[in-house]
Homo-oligomer: A and B are copies of this chain.
Amino acid sequence: MTDFRRIAIVGLGLIGGSIGLAVREHLPGVATRGYDSDPAVRRRAAERGLADEICDTAQAAVADADLVILCVPVGAMGAAARAIAPAIEPGAVVSDVGSSKQAIGSALAEALPGRTVIPAHPVAGTEHSGPDAGFATLFHQRWCIVTPPTGADPAKVAELVRFWEALGATVDTMDAEHHDRVLAVTSHIPHLIAYTIVGTASDLEEVTRGEVIKYSAGGFRDFTRIAASDPTMWRDVFLHNRDAVLEVLDRFLTDFALMREAVRAGDGETLFELFTRTRDIRRSIIELGQDVAQPDFGREDHG
């Protein structure tokens, strides 16, 4: 399934922890070492067995690894790479899991000159974070996008692709710029919108916070899930994918202004036309196995 024998995971939150658990489940015989800069996270990671060995330094974790995966916030990638640079094996592949690939690609290339850097991004997660959040099946039926830099060794890229496939993911490769634009649409803007509307709802004077919470089943509660995601991770995503985020954000604002005008003018046709065609996308997402078909996400809260 994989030629990698020793995998180092730097950062043991939701994604790093899930990688460790997934390797144990899907790639028995492959050794894992983990490190996190937070001692409390390291202790909890050891208790949960997120890696075979939890090390006290990043250098110790990566020392003889043939695959190093950085699972830290986007803004911490450069520093994490610099810290391990002297300890990495010459032939090792260095990869990551971050959500903005151009910035990470540059940061890793700068911190690790001459090394094999192949960024990647598993499009998977939940709103939970930290060492208790990970689980072995997080990457099942999810896509993982690999963004090989120009001139990357095809054999090493293929090796990284096989690794993610072994964890249950389907892998696509694309250039980092296109990745950043795609993810701005499918992930970054949805998060920024959700965070913002949850903030707006909290701050209204005419409607109390208690009312917002009580009547959230009308639709609002869905947005609060995304808006409960890790703040550091998401701050860094927006700081490091600015151009693509602003581009998609402005398209959304243009469309939203049209809908605002339709509401103001009582233009039912424009509203109806949009509300009708958005149904198809949901259907396609379900057909492609990217969401569950049950109503209301199959939430079982109607006890």
Binding site for B on A (CB under 8 A): 75, 99, 123-128, 133, 135, 137-138, 140-143, 145, 172, 178, 181-183, 185-204, 206-207, 209, 211-229, 231-232, 234-236, 238-239, 242, 245-246, 248-249, 251-253, 255-256, 259-260, 262-264, 266, 268, 271-272, 274-279, 281-285, 288-292, 295-303
Contact residues in B for A128 (Cβ distance below 8 Å): 295
Contact residues in B for A219 (Cβ distance below 8 Å): 186-188, 190-191, 194, 226
In the A-B complex, list the 4 residue pairs whose CB atoms are closest, starting with the nearest: A187-B218, A126-B295, A231-B275, A190-B219
Interface centre among A126, A172, A252, A301 (most CB of B within 10 A): A301
Quote the shortest CB–CB distance from A259 to chain B (angstroms): 5
One of B124, B201, B215, B271 near A281 (C-beta < 8 A)? B201
On whether the beta carbons of B181 and A206 are closer than 8 Å, the reply is yes
Quote the shortest CB–CB distance from A102 to chain B (angstroms): 15
On whether the beta carbons of A225 and B266 are closer than 8 Å, the reply is no
A278-B195, A288-B213 given; A246·B259 CB < 8 A = no
On whether the beta carbons of A252 and B222 are closer than 8 Å, the reply is no
One of B193, B200, B228, B251 near A279 (C-beta < 8 A)? B228
On whether the beta carbons of A246 and B264 are closer than 8 Å, the reply is yes
Quote the shortest CB–CB distance from A95 to chain B (angstroms): 18
Interface centre among A127, A200, A227, A276 (most CB of B within 10 A): A200
On whether the beta carbons of B260 and A213 are closer than 8 Å, the reply is no
Contact residues in B for A145 (Cβ distance below 8 Å): 215
Interface centre among A215, A283, A288 (most CB of B within 10 A): A215
Q: What does DSSP make chain A's interface, helix, strand, loop or mixed?
A: helix
On whether the beta carbons of B207 and A285 are closer than 8 Å, the reply is no
On whether the beta carbons of B255 and A198 are closer than 8 Å, the reply is no
Q: How far is the CA of A127 from the CA of B293 in the complex (A)?
A: 11
Quote the shortest CB–CB distance from A101 to chain B (angstroms): 13
A224-B281, A275-B231, A290-B213 given; A255·B199 CB < 8 A = yes
A185-B220, A275-B195, A281-B213 given; A297·B299 CB < 8 A = yes
Q: Which residue of B lies closest to A128 (CB)?
A: B295
One of B75, B207, B224, B284 near A282 (C-beta < 8 A)? B224
One of B190, B216, B222, B251 near A225 (C-beta < 8 A)? B222
Quote the shortest CB–CB distance from A209 to chain B (angstroms): 7
Contact residues in B for A297 (Cβ distance below 8 Å): 225, 297-299
